[in-house]
Amino acid sequence: MHELAIYGVPVQWKRRQVDIPKPGPDEVLIKVVATGLNPKDWKFVKRRDESGALNAGDDIAGVVESVGSNVYEYKAGDRVAAFHRMGHPAGAYAEYAIAPATTTFPLPPNISFEAGAGLPLSSMTAAIALYQALGLPLPTTAGKKDIPLLVYGGATAVGAYALQLAKLSGVGPIITVAGSGIDFVKSLNAADHIIDYRKGNVTQAILAALDGKPLHHALDAVSSNRSHRPISEVLSASGGGEINMLDPPEDEDGWTFPKSVKYSRTLVASAYYQKHADISQRQAEADGEFAFWFYRYISHLLAKGSFKPHPHAVLPGGLDGIAGGVQSLYDGKVSAKKLVAR
Ligand SMILES: NC(=O)c1ccc[n+]([C@@H]2O[C@H](COP(=O)([O-])OP(=O)(O)OC[C@H]3O[C@@H](n4cnc5c(N)ncnc54)[C@H](OP(=O)(O)O)[C@@H]3O)[C@@H](O)[C@H]2O)c1
């Protein structure tokens, strides 16, 4: 089969002829119909040369080809979406890819493969951040819901999924920050207040939206360009709270979080039970169990129409169009949509 491997920035690529991979006992082999691109694709390869070229695709939508000996949920011919293990062989920039059965989920008939390809990595990042890291109530939990939430970056794929989930959970008020993706964020009908970062003074605008209510929970779905600073200022002004970030803060001035602000980080690898520097082994195991059932719950929400895939644009040229798409992500040229390759 063909796979596409990328390396370096500017993003370079080569097609390679490789064997169709074989699923392990707990894995699923999927014939890829569409794959979604993620900013991590360039982050993983930016320092690599040709010798380290990687099939960096992790978002799979396609049809089950075969399953490992322990897999009981899926059979050949099933429509699925799946999250591939990041950095491992048999990624989604190929004709066939492998994913753990636990991070594979049914793709309901009302969701196209192209739309489904934008779901696995970013929707689970949003879910782990909100529920496992920030400890917000699940859509299935009754009880206290008047919990103000800030989702910084409502037009990012992760932020938009977080807005949809937070709305389903019933927490609020929900405040978000966006720029050119603002009309899309409005169309989600999830946030109570949408702040336009292009107008400046984001901290004051968030405080005004809170109207005296304290903010204790924030997801930083941008996690770059010092996005953590206004968030920390608001949490601090509220007496303290937790900021969950997706990348560690980059702050060259020796800036540190105020004492009242707790930093935590989501890395979606914990969806397949992988520990990382900011969580314990126990948390990684809990996240893996959570991801198993929450992926299946996402299928249910998609089928009902109460959770929608991020808007997508199909890249021209199949595998050969992927490197150009990854470069556009690196250049920050993609607003409020997932780039997808067939
Ligand atoms: N740790 C993990 O496991 C994990 C998982 C997924 C993603 N991530 C990281 O999380 C970030 C988001 O990923 P993604 O795939 O969701 O991104 P994405 O969809 O590609 O994000 C694009 C959006 O970023 C928004 N944006 C850029 N700068 C902004 C700012 N200063 N304030 C508000 N919005 C801003 C833009 O909004 P406008 O169009 O409105 O300007 C744009 O629409 C990336 O850094 C990614 O690497 C980490």
- pLDDT over 90 at 143, yes or no: no
Burial profile 44-61: b = 16 or more Cβ within 10 angstroms, e = fewer: bbeebeeeebbbbbbbbb
Query: Considering only CA atoms, which residue is closest to atom 6 of ligand 1?
Result: 122
Specify the residue with its C-alpha closest to ligand 1, atom 34: 153
Question: Among candidates 96, 56, 58, 59, which has minimal Cα distance to 76?
Answer: 96
Least confident of 147-161, 188-202, 220-234, 247-261: 247-261
- Who lines ligand 1 at CB under 6 A? 38-40, 43, 121-122, 125, 153, 155-158, 177-181, 197, 221-225, 227, 246-247, 266-268, 329, 334-336
Q: Find all residues with CB under 8 Å of 169, minimum gap 6, and list them.
A: 130, 136, 137, 138, 139, 141, 145
To test ligand 1's pocket by mutation, which of 222, 229, 340 has the most ligand atoms within 8 angstroms of CB? 222
Helix (H) or strand (E) holding 329: helix 322-330
Q: Is the pLDDT of residue 4 over 90?
A: yes
Instruction: Please report the pLDDT score of residue 142 as a whole number.
Output: 86
The yes-or-no verdict on residue 161 having pLDDT over 90 is yes
Whether the pLDDT of residue 206 is over 80: the answer is yes
Q: Which H or E run contains 63?
A: strand 59-67
Q: What are phi and psi of 304, to 5 degrees?
A: -75, -20
The domains located in the chain, with CATH, are 2-119+309-341 (3.90.180.10), 123-285 (3.40.50.720)
Structure confidence by residue, pLDDT tens digits, 39-62: 999 999 999 999 999 999 999 999
For residue 337, the ligand 1 atom closest to its alpha carbon is 19
Tokens linked to 138: 């699940």
Beta carbons within 8 Å of 58's beta carbon, 6+ residues apart: 38, 40, 41, 83, 84, 85, 86, 91, 92, 120, 121
For the CA of 160, the closest atom of ligand 1 is: 16
